[in-house]
Homo-oligomer: A and B are copies of this chain.
Amino acid sequence: MASPITEETLKVSYEQLTDLEKEFEENEVEIIRHQVALNKPLYEKREKILSKLNGFWALVLEQAPPEVDQYIQPSDSAVLLSSLKNLTVSHFEIENGGKGDPRSISIKLEFNENDYFEDAVLEKKFWHRRAKSGWTGLVSEPVPIKWKKPGKDLTQGLLDLVVKVWEEDKKRGPGKGPITKAKDYTPAQKELKKKIETVGMGGVSFFGWFGFRGFPISEEESQAATEKDKENRRLRAEGKPVPDDEEEEEEEDEDEDDDPYGLEIFPDGDELAIAISEDLWPSAIKYFTSAQEQGDMSDIDFEDGMDEDEEDEEDEEEEEAPGGKEPPAKKRKA
């Protein structure tokens, strides 16, 4: 049996484990890089096959796991079913030999002509960043949508306001983050805050996702934080002292007025992006097949091309599906 553990052993081991986690993370990044390159020709092949299956992605979204499905409201569903033409995930920072972070992703939705918005393509980019504080994750920028009429705006004006605030933030100049204290809000920010409270967080449209911004971390801050983190790990590995500036940051944290997520209209935007890129995208054929098996929907959904006039029918079909065949057995089947 091992000898009793002292506080000191625990502290050192704990630091070593934390640093080791970073090494695992670096490996993981390399593995994703390798995986993206290896699978690229297969995804291209898949896109070619899928282009023959009208409505594939709409059906996949309908059959999506809860991590995606929970964000699709019935009114979103109608638009997606009637006009979503294609969905593509790309690791844009490593496309064409780029040396960026393979965890940065772009999700592109292509649409047929529809009653709701002018845009034929909506593309949302997420950059993988590291904050000074040590936090790492995805950040993004709002993507405006050209609604055909105010009444067709599925986000009820939320997205337009996010875009307006974002434009203001950009004008404030580089290096200046967004205003995060409610007492300093601009009129547009106040209006956004009020609208968020009115429209409510529960039922925000899937299209509100295009407004997600996430933690405001610039590329420069991210690079500096990554460099410093590597340097500190190197020092610890060599048993040398590491300059300690964590206290300063903790103080920043303690400002309770500060709410960097106060104006986020789709707070789980990063999680939805991850669910799409790590689950829906690689497993799309599985969800499609499962949809086919569950409802034997092939005859219903795929013999005709769908257009926006068929929305009401679609809703009916959805209700029919559960009455079809049993879902495939969870357990293996010979």
Q: Is the CB of B2 within 8 A of A332?
A: no
**B45, A20: Cβ atoms closer than 8 Å:** yes
Distance A50 CA – B2 CA, assembled complex (angstroms): 11
Known A20-B46, A54-B2; judge A215-B133 contact (CB<8 A): no
**Interface residues of A, count at CB 8 A:** 62
Is B334 within 8 A of A17, CB to CB? no
Which of A22-30, A141-149, A158-166, A186-194 sits within the interface? Answer: A22-30
Q: Is the CB of A24 within 8 A of B331?
A: no
Instruction: Confirm or deny: A157 has a beta carbon within 8 angstroms of a beta carbon on chain B.
Output: no
Interface centre among A14, A253, A307 (most CB of B within 10 A): A14
**Is residue A52 within 8 Å, beta carbon to beta carbon, of the partner chain?**
yes
Q: Mark A238-277, 1 if CB is under 8 A from B, else 0.
A: 0000000000010011000000110000010000000000
**Given that A27-B38, A31-B34, A307-B1 are known contacts, is A17 also in contact with B288, CB under 8 Å in the complex?**
yes
Interface residues of A in 13-70 (CB under 8 A from B): 13-14, 16-18, 20-21, 23-24, 27, 30-31, 34-35, 38-39, 42, 45-46, 49-54
CA distance A51 to B13 in the complex (A): 10
Q: State the number of copies, please.
A: 2
A74: shortest Cβ distance to chain B, in Å?
A: 24
CB nearest to A304 among chain B residues: B4
Q: Is the CB of A2 within 8 A of B305?
A: yes
A52 is contacted by which of B5, B249, B298 (Cβ under 8 Å)? B5
CA distance A2 to B30 in the complex (A): 38
Contacts of A307 in B (CB 8 A): 1
The minimal Cβ–Cβ distance linking A159 to chain B, given in whole angstroms, is 22
Contact of A334 among B39, B54, B131 (CB under 8 A): B131
Cβ-based interface call for A282 (8 A): yes
Contacts of A30 in B (CB 8 A): 38
On chain B, the residues within 8 Å of A39 by CB distance are 24, 27
Q: A3-B305, A9-B52, A53-B5 known; A215 and B38 CB under 8 Å?
A: no
B285 touches A17 (CB 8 A): yes
Knowing A5-B302, A54-B2, A305-B4 are in contact, say whether A49-B24 is a contact too (CB < 8 A): no
- In the bound assembly, the distance between CA atoms of A62 and B45 in angstroms comes to 45
| Interchain CB contact under 8 A, B13 and A42 | no
Q: A137-B332, A334-B260 are in contact. Are A49 and B27 (CB under 8 A)?
A: no
Give Cα A299 to B121, complex, Å: 56
Q: How far is the CB of A313 from chain B (nearest CB, A)?
A: 15
Inter-chain CA distance A52–B16, complex, in Å, is 12
Q: Assuming the A-B contacts A24-B282, A135-B332, A305-B1, are A10 and B53 also in contact, with contact meaning beta carbons closer than 8 angstroms in the complex?
A: yes
Given A21-B286, A23-B42, A135-B333, 8 other A-B contacts at CB below 8 A?
A1-B305, A4-B305, A7-B303, A13-B52, A20-B42, A20-B46, A27-B35, A260-B334
In the A-B complex, list the 4 residue pairs whose CB atoms are closest, starting with the nearest: A2-B54, A133-B334, A5-B302, A17-B285
